[in-house]
Amino acid sequence: MASAKRERPNRKLPNEEPVALPETDDGTILFNVPFPKDLAQLKAMAPIILKQPYRIDYIHSYGQDSPFFAGLANGKLLGTVCTKCGYKYATPKLHCMDCGSECDWFELPQVGAVHTFTVCYFGSEEFLKETPFVLILVEWPGVDTLFLSRLIGVDPLSPSLEWVGMKVRAKFRRLSKFKPTDVYFVPA
């Protein structure tokens, strides 16, 4: 039994306007796309290659380090201290790297000293426009580790060993980006 195709009658309602999607210039637009007259040649057609930007929203959690970044946004520099052995970290740790015990938060002083420094002539894409810049390790009395940050207000093209031991003061970005670079140091 042969199946019969039902064809829809081509009816047009009275006063019916043609309907079409609006054309826009956003997104990808291709012009002069080659197409063979003989459909048998479609398998030999070269692939169409498009280059287009890609964007993704990345959701990130600071987890245990959230208080550190909340502190930066509020003009406070926070470290952690082991509840058992008393080892003090200038950077946040949930547990002590020496004895494994839990750590508590404490506020670091706003003034520290340069332990050492380096001048960076190359940097990641984010800092490439700012090269050269100075990175320092900040130390505080009674704190067992150092804090890596930027030193602003000195000439990176004239580095000096006099910077070692120099007192520095923490400064915070007015508009927090919730990044470690929200804090930087200047000569005190």
Looking at the domain assignment, is residue 143 inside a domain? yes
Looking at the domain assignment, is residue 162 inside a domain? yes
Number of domains in the chain: 1
Nearest to 134 by CA among 110, 163, 91, 111: 163
- For residue 107, the cross-strand partners are 78
Looking at the domain assignment, is residue 41 inside a domain? no
Looking at the domain assignment, is residue 147 inside a domain? yes
Looking at the domain assignment, is residue 182 inside a domain? yes
* pLDDT tens column, 8-59: 555 556 666 777 777 777 777 777 788 888 898 888 888 887 777 888 998 8
Q: What is the distance between the alpha carbons of residues 97 and 144, in angstroms, rounded to a whole number?
A: 12
Looking at the domain assignment, is residue 100 inside a domain? yes
Per-residue pLDDT for 64 more than 60? yes
Looking at the domain assignment, is residue 55 inside a domain? no
Looking at the domain assignment, is residue 49 inside a domain? no
Average pLDDT over residues 103-118: 98
Q: Which domain holds residue 94?
A: 63-187
- Find tokens 């990130």 and name the residue: 60
Q: Are 88 and 142 in contact (CB under 8 A)?
A: yes
pLDDT cut 70: percent of the chain above it: 91
Per-residue pLDDT for 4 more than 60? no
Q: Are 151 and 185 in contact (CB under 8 A)?
A: yes
